[in-house]
Homo-oligomer: A and B are copies of this chain.
Amino acid sequence: MADVYENLRRQGITLPPPKKDGRYFDRIVPFGESLLYTSGFSPNMPGEPNLSGRIGKEYTVGQGAHFASNVICNILSAVEAEIGDLNKIRRFIKMLCFIAGAEDFTQQAAVADGASDLLIRLFGERAGKPARSAIGVAVLPHNSPVEIELLLELKH
């Protein structure tokens, strides 16, 4: 697999600048030998209005998948700020994807695929495919349509 930054360029992606940690939680927490847990991240991008609504209601499945890929960009920006170089990532271990959807919305997997698809494009089939749960939740903080948290492992 090529350099992650080369892959970002090929996908035409510029990572957003990292945000600061909140007063009440850290965005990235290293632990154990070489593990990192991320907080739940939103798909909101700097300079754009914050998203507010549900998939299957205010937003389409396709928009949801795009939002999920934006969450990954926000997470990668924060991970890079923590570890300095995204090529240090050995593998994405676990993805937990929360999707605020309409009451009868059952395509959570298709939304989460937007996040998985970008991870695979950037890190390859082996490193970019975590175990995954995708669930429909009642409502997310600030009415965000999607929130994703990741557990990942760094190279030794």
Residues of A within 8 A of B (CB): 21, 24-29, 31-33, 35, 37-40, 91, 93-96, 98, 100-101, 103-109, 112-113, 116-117, 120, 129-143, 147, 149, 151, 153
Closest Cβ–Cβ distance, residue A112 to chain B (whole Å): 7
Which of these, B109, B130, B141, B153, contacts A107 with CB under 8 Å?
A: B141
Number of copies: 3
Q: Is the CB of B106 within 8 A of A143?
A: yes
Q: Is the CB of A106 within 8 A of B138?
A: no
B contact residues around A39 at 8 Å (CB): 131-133
Q: Could you list 24 A-B pairs, sorted by A, with CB under 8 Å?
A: A21-B129, A24-B117, A24-B132, A25-B116, A29-B94, A29-B131, A32-B32, A33-B33, A37-B93, A37-B130, A39-B131, A39-B132, A96-B133, A98-B133, A98-B135, A106-B143, A108-B139, A133-B147, A134-B141, A135-B141, A135-B147, A136-B140, A136-B141, A137-B137
